[in-house]
Amino acid sequence: MNWEYYRDLIVKDGRFEEDWYIIGIDFGTTNSVISYWHKGHNCPEPIDMSHGFSKIPMPSVVQYRREGMEAEWVVGDEALRSMKLYPDTTISSVKRKMGENATYEFGGASYVPEVISAKIIKHLVDEIRHMNPNSVVIGVVVSVPYDFDDAAKKATIRACQLAGLSDKLICLIEEPKAAALAYNFRQELKKDEKIMVFDFGGGTLDITIFEVVSTKGDAISMKVISEGGESYHGGDNIDEYILRLLYNWIKDETGKSQKDIALENQAELMTMARDFKERLSGVKQIRVPFSFIVPPFAKKITRDDFEELISKFVKKTRTLVLRALREGAEGTIEPSEISRILLEGGSSSMPWVKEMLVSIFNNEVIIYSSEKPALDIAIGATYYASMKLGVLSHQDIKTFGKKVNFDVTVPHDIGFLMDFDKKPAFHSMISRGTPYSLARKTQIFTLTGETEEEMTTLDITILERMNKGDSVDKCHLIGHVHIKDLPIKDLPRRPSGKTYLKVTLAMEEEGGLVKGEVEDMGYQKAFESNGFKVGFTPRRHESVTIEVE
Amino acid sequence: MIQSIEDYKYIVGVDIGSQSTSIGYLSQSNLEPTILDMSGGYKDASIPTVMQYSKPDQTWLIGDAAKSNADMEATIYIDQLLNCIEHGTSVTIDGVIFSYDQLLVEYLNQLLEHVRHINPKAVIEKVVISVNEMAYDNLVLKIDELKKHIQALGVIIIKDQLAIGRYMQYKSLLGKTSVHILDYGYSALKHYIARYEDNRLYIRHIADYEALGCYVIEQKIKELLLDIYRTQMHIEVIDEISLLHIDQMLFQYYVWFFQKMAEGKALKVFYNFAFPPFKATVDIKQMEEMMIHIMDEYSKLCNPIFESGQYILMGNGYRMSWTKNSIEKKDEIKEYTDVIVKGAVLEGGKDLVGLANLEVSQEGITQVSYGILVKDKATRSTTTINTSSNKIINNAIKTGSRDTYKELIGKGVAYQTESEPIGLIIDNQSTAGPEHLMHIVTYDDTVPDEVVAGRTTEVSIADTVATMGTVDNAGTIETVVTIDTVDTVETVDTARTMDVYKVIKTISLDDYKEKAISRISLIMTIDEYGKVDVRTTSLPL
């Protein structure tokens, strides 16, 4: 069963069973949220993971505990709060490692980031089963940052599969798109509006500028006209600045450096750093007690001191906003053209964020804080899943707000590693800024070799260039594809250099994953194509080998 | 006919509770009352009804920001704003008097900023403030000041009953059948019956079940945390700093306790502040044993109501999922969160939403107790008490505040002090009924001598307890006061559900003292309209 199967049942047969669940998941660096389509309320409903106590976002923290012969995995709030007792085996911010070749080692085993992430996703999805033991998930959309690279996106899908979700029912959505969707269903958007989504979370800053292209009929069309931000530029980075300050204070008072501090106290300091930052969003001055130090002491800090401490970070954030305006897909966007700035993400509530934006846009009244920055991404993901399944067209559903068609653009250049005169270089195939719907390009390769084996093998390396001007060694690997035993008709009659292979790269419209296809083109009129064509999905950490019979 | 409202115009409702305050608005898109989540979706939508004044900055903080900053020096913390409003009290800071309405204005203006965060173009057409009856009387007196200073085009004050009525009207619950309203709050589980007749909604307050209140449950969990700590650390007396840490743990563990109960799993408790840190496990059986008495009492009360099928559940206590276990058809639970704030929003937008006029009456007036408080510096009287817990009594006395009452509910104890004045003591009865109440009104925070747990202890009370009576609607209380060493005499009232007193009249004894009269008769008469008349007569020696 896949999306189309359920969509047909919903749209054509008008069915929407009681036990069917459409899910949206915001898999965040700091917190994760799961939401589902509530049939009674005709809108997404985030699930309260605290069973009634309104603590909806769940900390994206996983902990491995071993006591004697017993081992267990703990996820969420409990893992966060007991970090101090299990500092070595508590993992937070695993999202930052997705797609990387990192491992976590404990309990005599190695765990890749997607395995850890799967535990978070499973814990969220289990709530659906807790609510309804007969539940059937008919579609799940998971959010990813806009500039997650291909490997990170694929690792996210893998995590969902490991969590027990069917890969035919998983789809990814870029976070700014989800935020725009959630906003659209709350406030009416107008044609020609240019909206900046400033999504400032724990791990990343995503800046996306949308233009409302049309609002005809029952749908609105939005186009991404610029994107920016940075992967490792979030609230967690601010925590690091604060942590350094805390360690400096301890050193000044006691002479002790970080290595002299017990692991459990280091964990406590990490929690203190986060609390410190959150408190200074509300008050102008706080007292920071160091009760585990002997003798205990306390320090005071004002909001001004804090903003001075993070001034470099603030400056960089400003630069990222200006860059997103400057590097629009259709040219520079003037600040005055932006009609609305939507603040999303927990870190956007810090007072300096608004001040910084006002200094660029000279207009406070265009800055809207989201009503529920903690929940918007999950809500938007659920709307997207519901739209995909045709739920919003269902006769019984009456939802305010129009359906949204997105024209999202490719965030980074995608291309091949080519050998030009023995010098490796990046050959761009799909450029940044290309709409996903048009993101498809082919390259013809010529097969050469002296042996049959050489003549029936093709090795290609697919890369993602994150910034213009990056050299090939800075590009991210999307994957190696090794195609062997190409069924080249009439070999060995076809001499070397007389076989053309067409390799096509494309971005999936939903989620922007890179996929490809290789096809034999024969050789001009001399040799006909033998009609072989095969698709592939490149993966970073495993070379894809296509053996063709 | 349903109209519409421009997207920048806001009709706002505010529910000011003793613990927390919620704000909502009428959604411009679908004209539904919508809660404004002040946490951004991270936790509770409401904020604590507390304020803090920073002397160096000369600025006020409200809600969570005030609470988290409570330990800062040079600040004044007001943890019972609603109490101030109910009693019409003011706060003096560095010689500047902030009256209760001024405090409310400051609190509300900051609250309304949340609306401007989500829409910087917001114009607040109307703000409807819903409060309990006691606070309503005082706010109505200051309506002009409120209208002048609150940053909204219109300000309306309503009673909570009207807000409940509006919400029932909106949800088409005003039918011929009576509806039970169960409001599960911090101080008690309150039971009302609502009935709609001749275009009027009658809400009859049946009873308050204080022994089922969330406060009682909170104290049980606190006691659990304290016991575990004492056992692990092999101590009898917990130091102040550890007590503070455990108080902080309580906020989180109150939630986790019920989360784990709902999941049928053991609760792991982590004492991170301890040296060395440790953890303890509370299994599901222990949790259920702790709650069994409360759950049984609750079931006896509520199961017949649930079987009737005509009920509304309100209040934070209904977050605990066990409270709904006995309801068979869970999808039919008529549970409404934030009834009062939504009702306040609907009152403000009644014309837009198309709600007809609604009259609401409160029936079976909350029993009011009246009494006479005598502050006497010289007279001493003693009474005997049995304490159940040394720590609780110490805490209660140290805070010398509302907590005092809270700590002693159901324990049937007075408290010990040698300082004065103390105040009025009334017997407490935790089950429903018209019996008299036990409260302690404190006037200072003086720490008393230690009371030893489990033993009968002589108690010295500086103030004399005057005769008390419980009056349903009307009646007379009479007492004789020897005024030689009496400082002040006040007549007071308290609703049964209230733990504090409102001074009705302060009686001057100067004339009598000048005339060297030593005894007076004091007669307090309350008529059916709640009007109080106090007469004093000198008595011969």
Instruction: Select the residue from A31, A285, A344 to test the B interface by mutation, using most B Cβ atoms within 10 A.
Output: A285
* Identity of the highest mean pLDDT range in B107-116, B366-375, B458-467: B107-116
Judge if B285 and B405 occupy the same domain.
no
Residue B313 is predicted with a pLDDT of 87
Contact B420, B462 (CB under 8 A): yes
Lowest mean pLDDT among A39-53, A237-251, B108-122, B315-329: B315-329
- Residue B193 sits in a domain whose CATH number is 3.30.420
pLDDT tier, B398 (very low <50, low <70, confident <90, very high otherwise): very low
A82, B279: Cβ pair inside 8 Å? yes
Residue B528 has pLDDT above 60, yes or no: no
What's the whole-number mean pLDDT along residues B502-506? 69
- B41-59 per-position pLDDT tens digit: 888 888 999 999 988 778 8
Question: Would B52 be classed as within a structural domain?
Answer: yes
B262, A264: Cβ pair inside 8 Å? no
Residue A70 is predicted with a pLDDT of 78
Residue B429 has pLDDT above 60, yes or no: no
Judge if B178 and B245 occupy the same domain.
yes
H-type alpha helices, B30-132: 63-68, 81-87, 100-118
Nearest CA in chain A to B66: A283
Residue A118 is predicted with a pLDDT of 96
What's the whole-number mean pLDDT along residues A197-215? 88
B40, A371: Cβ pair inside 8 Å? yes
pLDDT tier, B501 (very low <50, low <70, confident <90, very high otherwise): low
A264, B270: Cβ pair inside 8 Å? no
Judge if B258 and B137 occupy the same domain.
no
Chain B positions in Cβ-Cβ contact with residue A376 (cut-off 8 Å) = 41
Beta bridge partners of B502: B493
Rounded CA separation A23/A124 (Å): 10
CB contact set of B105 (below 8 Å; sequence gap of 6+): B145, B146, B149, B150
- Residues 120 through 179 of chain B touching chain A, CB cutoff 8 Å: 120-121
A372, B259: Cβ pair inside 8 Å? no
Question: ipTM above 0.95?
Answer: no
The C-alpha of A544 sits at a distance from chain B's nearest C-alpha, in angstroms, of 42
Which domain-ending residue is among B290, B321, B356? B356
Nearest 5°: the CA angle B107, B43, B344 is: 50
Question: Would B361 be classed as within a structural domain?
Answer: no
Residue B384 has pLDDT above 50, yes or no: no
Judge if B311 and B435 occupy the same domain.
no
Phi and psi (nearest 5°) for B482?
-90, 120
Rounded CA separation B502/B135 (Å): 11
Q: What is the DSSP string of B273-335?
A: TSSS-EEEEE-HHHHHHHHHHHHHHHHHHHHHHHHHT-EEEESGGGGSGGGGTT-S-GGG--B
Q: What is the number of domains present in chain B?
A: 3
The pTM (predicted TM-score) of the whole model is 0.75
* Identity of the highest mean pLDDT range in A33-42, A216-225, B430-439: A33-42
Chain A positions in Cβ-Cβ contact with residue B262 (cut-off 8 Å) = 51-52
What's the whole-number mean pLDDT along residues A230-251? 91
Contact status of A283 with chain B (Cβ, < 8 Å): yes
Judge if B156 and B250 occupy the same domain.
no
Q: Between B164 and A329, where is the model more confident?
A: B164
Judge if B164 and B197 occupy the same domain.
no
Domain locations in chain A?
A: 3-186+371-407, 235-311, 413-547
Contact status of B320 with chain A (Cβ, < 8 Å): yes
Domain A3-186+371-407 has CATH 3.30.1540.10: no
Judge if B128 and B225 occupy the same domain.
no
Contact status of B64 with chain A (Cβ, < 8 Å): yes
B120, A367: Cβ pair inside 8 Å? yes
Judge if B406 and B277 occupy the same domain.
no
B77: containing domain:
9-170+337-356
- Residue B114 sits in a domain whose CATH number is 3.30.420.40
Judge if B220 and B304 occupy the same domain.
yes
Phi and psi (nearest 5°) for B131?
-140, 170
pLDDT tier, A21 (very low <50, low <70, confident <90, very high otherwise): very high
B40, A51: Cβ pair inside 8 Å? no
Annotation: CATH topology of A235-311: Actin; Chain A, domain 4 (3.90.640)
B270, A285: Cβ pair inside 8 Å? no
pLDDT tier, A457 (very low <50, low <70, confident <90, very high otherwise): confident
What's the whole-number mean pLDDT along residues B340-362? 91
Rounded CA separation A200/A356 (Å): 13
